[in-house]
Amino acid sequence: MTSSIFLATQGFGLNLNLFETNVLNLAVVIFGLYKFLPNFLGGILERRRSGILADLKDAEDRLNEATNSLAKAREELASAEQKASKIRSDCKVRAEAIRLESEKRTVEEMARVKQGAASDLNAEAARVSNELRKEAAKLAIEKALAKLPSKLDDSAQSKFLSQSINNMGKD
């Protein structure tokens, strides 16, 4: 016992005794691990890796999809904006047209009203002058009737009658 300890304290070195170092059994164990561990662990790791890759691909797909729909929405927004601006400009044009139209109509209406007033005035003047004429004629007839009895006698009447008869004969 003492001698073996004494021998063992000689210093660092290599021990190449196959049995003492248990190298053969270790080799078997390590070989077994090398044979079976990659199968066991490798399966787990490969599943993990494919899961991660699938997740990544999924996320990328969703990103693509989102990007596409964003672009589509942007396009739609642009077209809607275009439509809105078109509608706005159309409205402006229409408003301008309506304004012009109503202005024109107003002017026409004013002209018509003016003309109507003028024609009313003319008609009134005509009516008034007619009335005056009738009045004048009436007055003249009344005057003549008033004068008539004093001027009309038998001779004059007969003269008048014969004159009328003569006149009838000429006709």
Partner 1 sequence: MGFTPFIFPFAELEVGQHLYWQLGNIRIHGQVFLTSWLLIGALLTLVVVGTKKMERDPKGVQNLLEFLWDYIRDLARTQIGEKVYRDWMPFIGTLFLFIFVSNWGGALVPWRLIRLPSGELGAPTADINTTVALALLVSLSYFYAGLSNKGLRYFEYYVHPTPIMLPFKIVEDFTKPLSLSFRLFGNILADELVVAVLVFLVPLVLPVPVMFLGLFTSAIQALIFATLAAYYIGEAVEEHH
Question: Looking at 30-38, 62-70, 73-81, 135-143, which segment touches partner 1 (CB under 8 A)?
Answer: 30-38
Q: Rg for the chain (alpha carbons), in Å?
A: 67
d(CA 86, CA 51): 52
8 vs 123 by CB, closer to partner 1? 8
Q: What span, in angstroms and rounded, lies between the C-alpha atoms of 88 and 82?
A: 10
Query: By CB under 8 A, what part of segment 95-114 binds partner 1?
Result: none
**Total residues belonging to the chain:** 171
Task: Note whether 88 binds partner 1 by CB under 8 A.
Answer: no
Q: Identify the three-state secondary structure at position 20.
A: coil
Q: Draw the binding track, 134-163, toward partner 1 (x: CB under 8 A; -: no contact).
A: ------------------------------
Instruction: Give the residue, chosen from 10, 39, 155, 167, that forms a contact with partner 1 under the rule CB under 8 A.
Output: 10
Question: Taking phi first (over 0 means left), then psi (-120 to 50 degrees means alpha), and beta for anything else, what does residue 82 get?
Answer: alpha
Residue at 72: amino acid letter? K
Q: Is 1 in the site for partner 1 (CB under 8 A)?
A: yes
- Asked whether 18 and 24 are in contact (CB, 8 A), the reply is yes
| 167 binds partner 1, rule: CB under 8 A | no
Choice between 32 and 116, CB closer to partner 1: 32
41 sits near partner 1 (criterion: CB under 8 A)? yes
Q: Which of 40, 43, 52, 105 binds partner 1 (CB under 8 A)?
A: 52
Task: Please state, in angstroms and as integers, the Cα–Cα distance from residue 111 to each residue in 47, 119, 150, following that order.
Answer: 94, 12, 59
Separation CA 102–CA 96 (nearest Å): 10
Residue 44 or 145 with smaller CB distance to partner 1: 44
Contact residues: partner 1, CB under 8 A = 1, 3-5, 7-17, 19-26, 28-30, 32-33, 41, 44-45, 48-49, 52-53, 56
